[in-house]
């Protein structure tokens, strides 16, 4: 049985104040073409359909059209909400929509019932687990003492009726320990949202969302497909793709990717103003791409953004790399600080103030406080 795995569409997203809606419409059309060619039995969409919990009219209309096109292809579609989505809004009229073969997970209430499909090898059960926090699991199951995200997801899975001997797929939207992050993702304080990959051992394929770079976590069958578009310059060197997973008999899984080419790429350029404004250096390149330009001139160029946008209209970000900026970085240590987690910063601050490291109890207390603040923020 063949499945196409998508996630993190982030419809309606703006990158450096540039609307991505035209680029998203283009890439969804390309994805529909891939689905037509692949003829999968199902499409798995692992959360963050929208970029905001209250999406724009444009974003809702775009996804509505995408679903109508999928429905016409008579493909079963499985959708969960991510941390950017409102599960209640996304799951509106889900029972009625399911009659068209589009299955949307409701807001988590402890009940995760599989949708079962049949092929020549038997039954495939698709379990849809929306983005959850420990508080969601404790609310559904007061007897569970889930404090960490690993404990929460483990408890949620333990309450599923997993049918051993059959092939089982889980769609989830969590941060699994070991995944490589990108700047465009929401990073929780102190890495508190980490989930250990071992909680997914009962499943033959785990279709993950949340992380924007395509990658497997541990075993091949636990996989992030990544975003269909680049949403930050930390993703500039990534190759975006659609993941195709094919399950034959139990234990026989094939995975491959189909590359996606965007309407406009997200690229980085570096050089002097004179070099970047020289026609010989930009002729034949895609001038419509979204760009982060780093100028190496020792003196600031007056109205550099305005001048460069005459050539590169979608210049998103401009900065300098010269003696002055390098000296400033050495003084502030800003880049090094940004690379650290909030917990690492708290540890360093505590040690400087007290001339001794935090102990385990203190770290646990700080972690709980951070998690509480993060949950209240959400």
pLDDT of 313-336, one tens digit each? 999 999 999 988 887 765 555 555
Q: Do residues 116 and 125 touch, judged by C-beta distance below 8 A?
A: yes
Q: Assign domain 2-259 to its CATH superfamily.
A: Metallo-dependent phosphatases (3.60.21.10)
For the chain, report the end-to-end CA distance as a whole number of angstroms.
Answer: 37
Better-predicted residue by pLDDT, 194 or 3: 3
Residue 50 carries which DSSP code? B
Looking at the chain, the whole-number percentage of residues with pLDDT higher than 70 is 91
> For residue 190, what pLDDT is reported?
45
> For residue 191, what pLDDT is reported?
55
Mean pLDDT of 284-306: 95
List C-alpha distances in Å: 109 to 131, 209, 361. Answer: 12, 20, 32
Judge whether residue 292 has pLDDT over 50.
yes
Least confident span in 46-55, 179-188, 256-265: 179-188
* DSSP H/E element including 338: helix 334-338
Better-predicted residue by pLDDT, 19 or 349: 19
Q: Do residues 241 and 214 touch, judged by C-beta distance below 8 A?
A: yes
CA distance 304 to 287: 17
List C-alpha distances in Å: 165 to 60, 122, 168. Answer: 39, 10, 9
DSSP-derived pairing of the beta strands 18-19 and 42-46? unpaired
Q: Do residues 296 and 270 touch, judged by C-beta distance below 8 A?
A: yes
Nearest to 3, CA basis, from 48, 35, 43 = 43
pTM: 0.84
Mean pLDDT of 301-316: 96
Better-predicted residue by pLDDT, 164 or 333: 164
CA distance 24 to 307: 28
């Amino acid at each position: 049985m063949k499945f196409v795995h998508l996630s993190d569409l982030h419809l309606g997203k703006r990158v450096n104040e540039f609307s991505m809606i035209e680029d998203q419409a283009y890439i969804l059309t390309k994805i529909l073409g891939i689905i037509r060619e692949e003829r999968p039995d199902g499409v798995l969409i692992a959360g963050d359909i929208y970029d905001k919990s209250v999406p724009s009219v444009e974003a809702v209309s775009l996804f509505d059209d995408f679903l109508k096109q999928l429905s016409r292809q008579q493909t079963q579609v499985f959708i969960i909400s991510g941390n950017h989505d409102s599960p209640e809004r996304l799951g509106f009229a889900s029972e009625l929509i399911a009659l068209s073969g589009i299955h949307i997970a409701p807001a988590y209430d402890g009940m995760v019932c599989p949708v079962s499909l049949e092929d020549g090898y038997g039954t495939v059960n698709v379990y849809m687990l929306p983005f959850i926090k420990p508080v969601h699991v404790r609310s559904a199951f007061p007897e569970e003492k889930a404090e960490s995200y690993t404990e929460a997801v483990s408890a949620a899975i333990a309450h599923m009726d997993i049918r051993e001997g059959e092939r089982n797929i889980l769609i989830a939207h969590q941060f699994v320990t070991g995944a490589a992050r990108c700047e465009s993702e929401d990073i929780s304080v102190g890495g508190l949202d980490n989930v250990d990959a071992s909680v997914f051992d009962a499943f033959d394929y785990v279709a993950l969302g949340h992380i924007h770079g395509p990658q497997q976590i541990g075993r091949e069958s636990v996989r992030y497909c990544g975003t269909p578009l680049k949403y930050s310059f930390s993703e500039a060197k990534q190759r975006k793709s659609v993941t195709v997973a094919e399950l034959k008999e139990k234990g026989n899984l094939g995975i491959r990717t189909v590359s996606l080419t965007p309407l406009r790429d997200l690229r980085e350029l570096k050089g002097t103003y004179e070099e970047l404004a020289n026609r010989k250096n930009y002729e034949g390149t895609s001038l419509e791409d979204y760009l982060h330009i780093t100028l190496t001139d020792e003196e600031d160029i007056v109205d550099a953004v305005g001048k460069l946008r005459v050539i590169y209209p979608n210049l998103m970000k401009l900065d300098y790399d010269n003696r002055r900026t390098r000296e400033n970085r050495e003084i502030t240590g800003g880049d090094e600080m940004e690379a650290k987690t909030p917990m690492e910063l708290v540890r360093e601050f505590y040690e400087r103030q007290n001339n001794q490291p935090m102990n385990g109890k203190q770290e646990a207390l700080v972690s709980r406080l951070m998690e509480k603040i993060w949950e209240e923020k959400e």
